[in-house]
Structure 1
Amino acid sequence: MTLDTTMRPGALSVIPNRRTLFWLFVGGFLGLMAWEIWARLITSWILGGPLEPAELVISLVRTWTGYELARLPAEAAHYAIGIFGYPILYFIVSRSLRNWALALDIGVWSIFTVFLAALSLAGQLTGGIALFWAIVTGVTATRFLNPNSLVADCLSWGSFTWFNALGIMAPLAGLPFLLVAWGGGLSFMSYVGHVIFGFIAALVFELKAGQQR
């Protein structure tokens, strides 16, 4: 039995039912709990401090409105995005775009590669960042070896959530692209955390409520 995660365009003409939404949000919750363990415990142990998605929210609000958002609503926004926002976006993307996962893989890997090539030309590429690129490349390349397309697609979604957070939202918040300018440690730990989050969120949903071929 296999699951179809590349539905035909136009599938969203059917509004997701309550069961679909329930498993989307359960997947988001479980993925976010795994992220919290990675971000607040494991990352703190490795880097000496946690990942701070709430600070990204605060920076976004400050940059675009000048308002200094308090920590509590920033944390609430982080949880809302993880449990509800990303899962809904996953449903829209996976159910409306053909070959969406391959397109995300190509896009994320290509942009990351071009960015690091520019760093290399500027003499700013470090061995650690190069190793980071090799890991991202290896994870992305598993798509061509993985016999399970569902697993490959869920990994693609996790990789995209990392790029969305640090490649799109971070620059919009006035922070360095992918946070690589800060040494790469935070970016790498964020990459792993987002892959874990996105993979679990998408996989739980697809296994429990995804449509069969």
Structure 2
Amino acid sequence: MSKTRREDCFALRIQELVTALRTPLPLSFSALVSTSARGAGRDRFVRNVAVEVTLGNDLTGTLHIVPGPDIVPQAVRLEARRVHLGGFRAFAVCPVYGHRVATLYMPPDGTRFLSGEAHRLSWASHHISKERRLRLRLRDLLVRLGARHLDEIRKPHRMRWTTFDRLVAECERMDAEIMRLEFRRVGIDLGQNPDAPSRKTRTANASIRNSMEIEP
């Protein structure tokens, strides 16, 4: 798997592109799309890509990428499908593998827009530890529940109790798994299915507690 991440590449999001004008089918227009990618360090740089889009009533069309600095000309097939409540959802057909994708990517040092699989790109989540992944998921759930810590959770207005109970149970499960990984890191193995200490027990250990704080 490549170390280049999709989040660091130039991207053409097909649905956003073909619905930008909010006009019905058939479509035929030219546009200048501004995309950004991450270079060395954390700096991002912008590249403008000129495109020509056609999409007919038969839900097929073509995305022409106009040649420019470090960009080769391309003609990428477009396909769309009707959605239940009206309108359509558009996809590009990868020039290499032939499967439909919602986004085409071009690495910072590339010259062609292809699917992520064709460029052998990875996701940012593939480069973080299991503990960090759990922390991010736990943080997202806590935000959904309107809290920053487990002991601040209250049922949001209009949320079903079954949904609330499921989310709380998932938060507690991930919290226990994070704690198990932390104890393992300091040489204490709680096993695969530990009878996890409570939050109060963990608060008593200052060093563990400091490392367990969820980032805002």
Do the structures match in fold with TM over 0.5?
A: no
Whose relative contact order is higher, 1 or 2, with alpha carbons under 8 Å and at least 6 apart? 1
Question: Higher strand fraction: Structure 1 or Structure 2?
Answer: 2
With normalisation by structure 2, the TM-score equals 0.27
Question: Higher helix fraction: Structure 1 or Structure 2?
Answer: 1
With normalisation by structure 1, the TM-score equals 0.27
Larger Rg over CA atoms: 2
